[in-house]
């Protein structure tokens, strides 16, 4: 069985400063907002809907970053997961965690976001965040 999800690395500019949004999932890990595609949605629509639902922020897709794939076991079967990530610029909304799904959400300096990702995040998100930060003008190296 295949499951398709989408999400993004959300950023905002405040004057000359850039901030990146990171979430803490229900397991206490640092990650990026994402969720399952619903019937009739495009991948891009899924990404923007999930970001809004999980974090309260609306955004505009700047460009695709990466598609990651992995497998996990569920109900005695194996699920092939495909997650499409986009670089998304925040355009509005109020930062608020969807407490049914995640523990928290915050805006961080890009290098602090990288530190949290590489120390408390899922390894398969490292390259996604690295590509986003590079696109925003921050040089970081994979672990």
Q: What is the pLDDT of residue 127?
A: 96
- Calculate the alpha carbon distances from 3 to 63, 69, 78, 79 in Å: 22, 10, 10, 7
- Its pTM stands at 0.93
Q: Which range among 32-41, 71-80, 103-112 shows the weakest confidence by mean pLDDT?
A: 71-80
| pLDDT, mean of residues 37-58 | 97
Question: Domains of the chain: which residue ranges?
Answer: 2-135
pLDDT surpasses 80 at 69: yes
- Calculate the alpha carbon distances from 11 to 26, 64, 133, 136, 142 in Å: 22, 14, 10, 9, 20
CATH (residue range 2-135): 3.90.79.10
Q: How is residue 13 written in tokens?
A: 């500019």
């Amino acid at each position: 069985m295949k499951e398709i999800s989408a999400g993004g690395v959300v950023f905002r500019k405040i004057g000359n400063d850039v901030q990146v949004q990171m979430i803490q999932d229900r397991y206490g890990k640092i990650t990026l907002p994402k969720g399952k595609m619903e019937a009739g949605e495009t991948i891009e629509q899924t990404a923007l809907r999930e970001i809004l639902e999980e974090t309260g922020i609306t955004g505009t897709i700047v460009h695709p970053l990466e598609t990651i794939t992995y497998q996990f076991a569920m109900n005695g079967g194996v699920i092939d997961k495909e997650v499409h990530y986009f670089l998304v610029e925040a355009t509005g909304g109020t930062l608020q965690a969807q407490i049914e799904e995640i523990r928290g959400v915050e805006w961080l300096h890009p290098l602090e976001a990288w530190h949290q990702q590489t120390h408390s995040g899922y390894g398969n998100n490292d390259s996604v965040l690295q590509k986003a930060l590079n696109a925003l003008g921050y040089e970081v190296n994979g672990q």
